[in-house]
Amino acid sequence: MSPDDEIRFLPYDEAVRLVAAIQEEESIDRPNHRILTVYNHADREICWFDFDEVMQAVAPVDKTNEKEVVCQYILNHIPDWAPEI
């Protein structure tokens, strides 16, 4: 991967202002596969995350804290191009 292909993320505070909702949904391309779709305040999809990959990245996580940990992970990984959507 070249430096130009490197994924850059928004600062956490900017991501918090941008993201209105994170919704768990079924992938339209892969039945019985879940994704986490991220929406802005205009209810527009700005990006999505593979549910299994996110869970692997945050594991192990206590079920009582799972939603909070997943949200924090996603908010720290919103691509820098997302505000342009």
Say how far apart CA 35 and CA 37 lie, in whole Å: 6
Q: Establish if 67 belongs to a structural domain.
A: yes
Q: Establish if 2 belongs to a structural domain.
A: no
Q: Establish if 77 belongs to a structural domain.
A: yes
Q: Establish if 33 belongs to a structural domain.
A: yes
Task: Report CA-CA distances (Å) from 64 to 23, 60, 80, 85.
Answer: 18, 12, 30, 33
Q: Establish if 21 belongs to a structural domain.
A: yes
Domain count, the chain: 1
pLDDT at 3 > cutoff 70? no
pTM of the model: 0.88
pLDDT at 34 > cutoff 90? yes
Q: Establish if 69 belongs to a structural domain.
A: yes
Q: Which structural domain, as residue segments, surrounds residue 53? A: 7-84
Q: Model confidence over 44-81: pLDDT tens digits?
A: 999 999 999 999 999 998 889 999 999 999 999 999 99
Q: Establish if 46 belongs to a structural domain.
A: yes
Q: Establish if 19 belongs to a structural domain.
A: yes
Question: Quick one: which of 41, 44, 34, 33 has its CA closest to 70?
Answer: 34
Instruction: Write down the pLDDT at residue 4.
Output: 66
